[in-house]
Chain A
Amino acid sequence: MDVELIEIRDFLAGVHPFDLLAVEVLGEIAQALEIRYARRGTPLLVPGDRARFLYIVRTGAVETRDPQGELLARLGEGECFGVRALMHDGLALNHSHAIEDSLLYLLPAERFARLRQAHRQIDYYFAPQIGGRLPATSPAGQADPALGLMTVRVETMLGRAPVTLGPEAGVRDAARLMRDERVSCILVTEDNRLVGIFTDRDLRNRVVADGLGMATPLSRVMSKHPVGIDASASAFDALLMMSRHNIRHLPVMRGATLAGCLTTTNLIKTQATSAVYLVGDLHKQETAEGMRAVLSALPDLVRSLVDSGASAHNVGHIVSTLTDAATTRLVRLAEKALGPAPVPYVWAAAGSQARHEQTALSDQDNCLILDDAYDEAAHGAYFTAFTRRVCDGLALCGYAHCPGGTMAMAAPWRLPLARWRQLFQGWIDEPEPKALMLASIFFDLRPVAGPAALFGALQTPVLEQARGSRVFQALMAGNALTHQPPLGFFRNLVLVRGGSNANRLDLKHTGVVPIIDLARVHALAAGVRAVNTQDRLKACAEAGSLSAEGAANLREALAFLGFIRLRHQVRQIQDGQPVDNYVAPDSLSSFERAHLKDAFSVVKTMQSALAHTYQLGRF
């Protein structure tokens, strides 16, 4: 029967992801729905219930809590629930109940499955909830490095007119032309048609190795009928074609005419990040001021990295590498000025630099680990001056002095190995609040300059002790729950109250930091050496201290939050504003908001799990 349920269809048309579907499809969905009314307090799904429907809140509100009673999500008008239950053996995992009188649209499971099959956009939207995962790629696909190449057309990469010869030309003439034109291949043409290609490699393999004469015509040794690519194709397609045919030279055609030749070098140049050059530049500088000038390109670098599709993880790695380069250079310059160090030492980075998660010039966090041969009376003056030089140099470069004083130039953080061990031992044995705060800084430690063995001599026993102390882990776990995702949001996200950041969302403290803290605790429990949060989560999953699914969810949540945060910062850079972590929710698409909620709910779930593991009670 042809029945038009206009008001229901129109409602669906305003609800993501159904808004992506054609009106006729929405009409069909409307006809498949059932409608249920639930008074406030009515349970809708209880763990173990057979899940038969996807629920869409029409009016009212619904809350989902895990079996421990922890709040996972609050859903308002236009939001869906019951998805995970549908996929998890068809049994509900969590409690869902109406917290307001609610009218609910119910899409039967079988119909939902068909919808997902028929419409990729629906599947794409729900897939993260079904698998409990966020998509690896961000909405616009920016996290995929290949996308940078997607947007570049082949013709823009051609540097010069094609270098050609006729098929009757000898190999010596070809070699001369290649030398003079400084190219690695000759395109062989006949009547302006491409008939072959002759490369450096052909010269070696087919001419010299086979002892052919210098006058051998190209027609005998060239590769005939080479594959080519159209000038309008993307660099990505070009790369794909080269790897598929295992070739390094790709003739480019503009229609029937030869436009040029693309080489792997062209492609590498396009991809080569200026970061590498910046590192080189830093190492050439003789003064901190010079390095500051080099580093002034950093915001632009971050911007172009984000534009060309780098993930937050990539950017963090590159920016931290630059900080490392600046640090190493300053350490060398200090040694040059003050003479070689009297005892071996390790300059170690702490905090975000150690984790490879810096995204801009941020405050410095570092310390110095000295060999046990260190003698305060004999060597103290040298290292005081040395660390002062490096820290001040970093400050000149733009890495401000740490307001909390965790810097190598502060005497408490410039210690011989044995003292460092005692310090860590103290934090682990007597984890008072201050100790926990310091532990969370110094357990993220990475050597930047100095012998790796010295650093290992500290890290190995300390990790061992931390791993053995469940009390310490439990207190660190409690600490890791101080920052919580804004799950109080309801229909909207809970925002920073007051001040200039009113109505904005603090992505760092409500999203990124909780994940970093979670990863640290799990890493300590598993004795994982890695400090980068993504690496830690991966290693924890491998070591089994974290479920593979939980780790994957957290990693993807972090990637997504990191991406949103970075993009926000890049926009601020473009607008010439100071960079911060406060994102206005209305600057996000509804798609991104939905994913943000997913990411937050992953964090919340994993925090609950951690609290449960360490019996922290309700927090």
Chain B
Amino acid sequence: MPPPLPPEAGRDAWEQAHEDALIRAREDDATPPRPPRPLIDACAVRLEPLWRHVFGMDLRRLWLGMRSPRGPLRAYYRAPCPRPATPWPAVEYLALDIEATGLDAETDEILSIGYVPIIEGRVRLAEAGYHLVRPRRPVPEETAVIHGILDGHLENAPRLSQVLPVVLQALAGRVPVAHHAHMERFFLSRACRRLYGQPLEMPFVDTMALEYRQLGGPDQPLAPGSLRLGRIRARRGLPRYPAHNALSDALATAELMLAQADALSRDRPARLAALLS
């Protein structure tokens, strides 16, 4: 678990904290904070660790799909999840990034979502998406200075209930990719739970974790900040993009994943399993 942080420390600090946690401990320590759950889910939630161990992701997705109401989430679960043994370029991905009013998926709200798919090993900008989301409460100043999204920008923005179906459609059949994927994972799952009553369960490629492994994992000393998206990209000779725009960050993450996947491939392409967290 990353140490708790005051919200004004911002996302960089949060990422930094996670990074420290990653370096100090193991990835599996960084499981989501347990939110209080509605009673209706209590049974399934209690069984979650067991599900995971016994039936794996596929069966759980099947189960969640069946429990989801008709609509976007069920449609999402219907799309088959790529098999881990597939060579990485044969899998479709969706690199995504979320900016929110804060860092707590339980209380904070999504303000913008940016995403761009990777198909046949190429980022496809034609299918990139960027959505502003109108929150229920005003944007707190301390996060507005980070992502630059102000209430004025959001006046005509759609609600999450209008945006989420679009995002789920883009995600269907694709593996999500994010840098420090916890945030995206929690926020999306929380959103699904709130709107459709079921969590979003999906295999994730986390470019931060991937970089951490490629740098040698826990045995290798790492300078603070060296797992930040911008730093990693600079090290890999990728261009500098402005941070904290959801689409820029999604694009930056997508390009980084291409470089990482390429580095993992030697004589033949690495398998999806090698990328997954």
A residues apposed to B, CB below 8 Å: 1, 3-8, 11, 30-39, 42, 58-60, 100-101, 103, 106
Contact = CB atoms under 8 A, between A and B. Distances in A.
Contacts of A103: 237-239, 255, 259
A36 B238 CA distance: 12
Contact of A37 (B124, B126, B128, B258): B258
Nearest to B238: A103
B237 A101 contact: yes
29 contacts: A1-B128, A3-B128, A4-B130, A5-B125, A5-B247, A8-B251, A11-B239, A31-B125, A31-B126, A34-B122, A34-B123, A34-B124, A34-B125, A35-B122, A35-B123, A35-B255, A36-B121, A36-B258, A37-B255, A37-B262, A39-B263, A58-B239, A59-B238, A100-B237, A101-B259, A103-B237, A103-B238, A103-B259, A106-B122
Contacts of B125: 5, 8, 30-35
Contacts of A7: 239, 241-242, 248, 251
Given A5-B125, A7-B242, A35 B237 contact: no
Contact of A35 (B129, B236, B254): B254
B259 A60 contact: no
A170 to B, nearest CB: 80
A2 B122 CA distance: 21
A104 to B, nearest CB: 9
A78 to B, nearest CB: 11
A520 B263 CA distance: 50
B122 A36 contact: yes
Contacts of B248: 6-7
B236 to A, nearest CB: 7
Given A5-B251, A6-B248, A31-B128, 8 more contacts: A3-B129, A8-B251, A30-B125, A31-B125, A33-B125, A35-B122, A42-B262, A106-B122
B259 A37 contact: yes
A-B complex: 9 closest residue pairs judged by Cβ atoms: A37-B258, A35-B123, A34-B122, A33-B125, A7-B241, A39-B262, A36-B122, A3-B128, A37-B259
A6 B128 CA distance: 13
B247 A3 contact: yes
A32 B126 contact: yes
Contacts of B124: 34
Looking at chain A's contact residues, is the secondary structure mostly helix, strand, loop, or mixed?
Answer: mixed
Nearest to B114: A3
Contacts of A8: 125, 251
Contacts of B123: 34-36
B255 to A, nearest CB: 6
Contacts of B122: 34-36, 106
Contacts of B121: 36
A4 B237 CA distance: 24
Nearest to A8: B125
A59 B256 CA distance: 13
Interface in B222-241: 236-239, 241
A111 to B, nearest CB: 9
A1 B258 CA distance: 25
B237 A60 contact: yes
Nearest to B118: A35
A281 to B, nearest CB: 62
A103 B242 CA distance: 17
Contacts of B251: 5, 7-8, 35
A251 B10 CA distance: 79
B258 A59 contact: no
B47 to A, nearest CB: 39
Nearest to B262: A39
Contacts of B128: 1, 3, 5, 31
B91 to A, nearest CB: 15
Which of B122, B129, B236, B247 has the most C-beta atoms of chain A within 10 angstroms of its own C-beta? B122
Interface in B248-269: 248, 251, 254-255, 258-259, 262-263
Contacts of A3: 128-130, 247
B239 A101 contact: no
Which of A33, A35, A39, A58 has the most C-beta atoms of chain B within 10 angstroms of its own C-beta? A35
A3 B124 CA distance: 13
A30 B121 CA distance: 18
Contacts of B126: 31-34
Which of A6, A37, A38, A101 has the most C-beta atoms of chain B within 10 angstroms of its own C-beta? A37
Contacts of B129: 1, 3
Contacts of A37: 255, 258-259, 262
A106 B123 CA distance: 10
B260 to A, nearest CB: 9
A59 B241 CA distance: 13
Contacts of A58: 239
B161 to A, nearest CB: 18
A145 to B, nearest CB: 46
A100 B248 CA distance: 24
Nearest to A7: B241
A237 to B, nearest CB: 47
Which of B128, B130, B254, B263 has the most C-beta atoms of chain A within 10 angstroms of its own C-beta? B128
A5 B126 CA distance: 10
Contacts of A42: 262
A353 B92 CA distance: 66
B146 to A, nearest CB: 18
A191 to B, nearest CB: 69
A4 B245 CA distance: 11
Nearest to B241: A7
Interface in B97-139: 121-126, 128-130
A198 B76 CA distance: 88
A5 B251 CA distance: 9
A60 B259 CA distance: 12
A334 to B, nearest CB: 70
A38 B236 CA distance: 12
Interface string B69-108: 0000000000000000000000000000000000000000
Contacts of A34: 122-126
A538 B236 CA distance: 50
B249 to A, nearest CB: 11
A5 B254 CA distance: 14
Contacts of B263: 39
Given A7-B242, A38-B262, A101 B130 contact: no
A33 B237 CA distance: 20
A30 B122 CA distance: 14
A259 to B, nearest CB: 59
B257 to A, nearest CB: 9
A33 B128 CA distance: 11
Contacts of B239: 7, 11, 58-59, 103
A66 B209 CA distance: 41
Contacts of A100: 237
Nearest to B115: A3
Contacts of A32: 125-126
A59 B237 contact: yes
A100 B125 CA distance: 24
A31 to B, nearest CB: 6
A105 to B, nearest CB: 9
